[in-house]
Amino acid sequence: MSNKEDANTIIVPPIYHPISRWWSKETVAIVTGANKGIGFALVRRLAELGLTVVLTARDGGRGLAAVEALKNEGLDVHFGRLDISNQNSIEKFVTWFQQAFGVVDILINNAAVSFNELYENSVGQAETVVRTNFYGPKMLTEALLPLFRRQSTAAARILNISSRLGLLNKLKNPKLKTMLLDEENLSESQIEAMLNLFLKDVKNGTWKGNGWPQIWTDYAVSKLALNSYSKILARRYKGNRDLISVNCFCPSFTQTSMTGGKGLHTADAAAAIGARLALLPADELPTGKFFVIGSSNPIHSKL
């Protein structure tokens, strides 16, 4: 990994370190893909802490069942149907959300797909993976940006659930790596051109030899794009009076359906850290960072 990739490494306090409560019941959070797994656990944790939380899911029945389960725990959670891979679904959700809540304080883009078993690496569903894992969060974020609450006491927050599989050190294509490292000039059109190149390589059957990540390749490329877009968005709002903090969080090897139930920790454990990151006080809140659960330290971050 280059020095530039290491330049923004930071250590944050352990999970047991208390944080100052700045939020209230009026603080509104959206968590996508939240009928199960880490998303469900994030909704539960945020609701336990007293926020107003909107749980979204593509399947209405499963989403409503998840909300009902949380309500049975005494939690106040709301459901909004949302398929982030579908532009029409996003537009309907945003219209409903604006009418129901008016403003959003925290967006956690958790919804994602992978069609590989744990030790497989097929790219047969690459278009769907890229559309869901990159274009979905991007479209939803852009649609919600006008609704973020702008206030001086607590910055609005976007936390993109990502993966270390999408870190730059997994990319072996020097031309693309140089482009992505030029953060000051990196553009959304360049990211999309990279994705088009990847999908072209998939179609031509040449993806294995062109320097793309070697583990869960389509998933890794989609997260590489999401990480890069997060940097661009963070740059757009950095130093702005109406600050929106944009960070990524890798929950690492977590026991979810995506990993076949295997992992080093539970979804609840990962969500406890994710919720903490989403709720950092404004004076401790970074932007443009990639957080990952570490082994020697509870959590660290690097771009």
How many beta carbons lie within 10 A of that of residue 182, not counting itself? 12
Catalytic: 119? no
- The Cα 303–Cα 299 span in angstroms is 14
What residues contact 68, with CB distance under 8 A and at least 6 apart? none
Q: Name the catalytic one among 16, 119, 135, 219.
A: 219
Q: Which two tokens stand for residue 229?
A: 């877009």
- Name the residues annotated as catalytic: 219
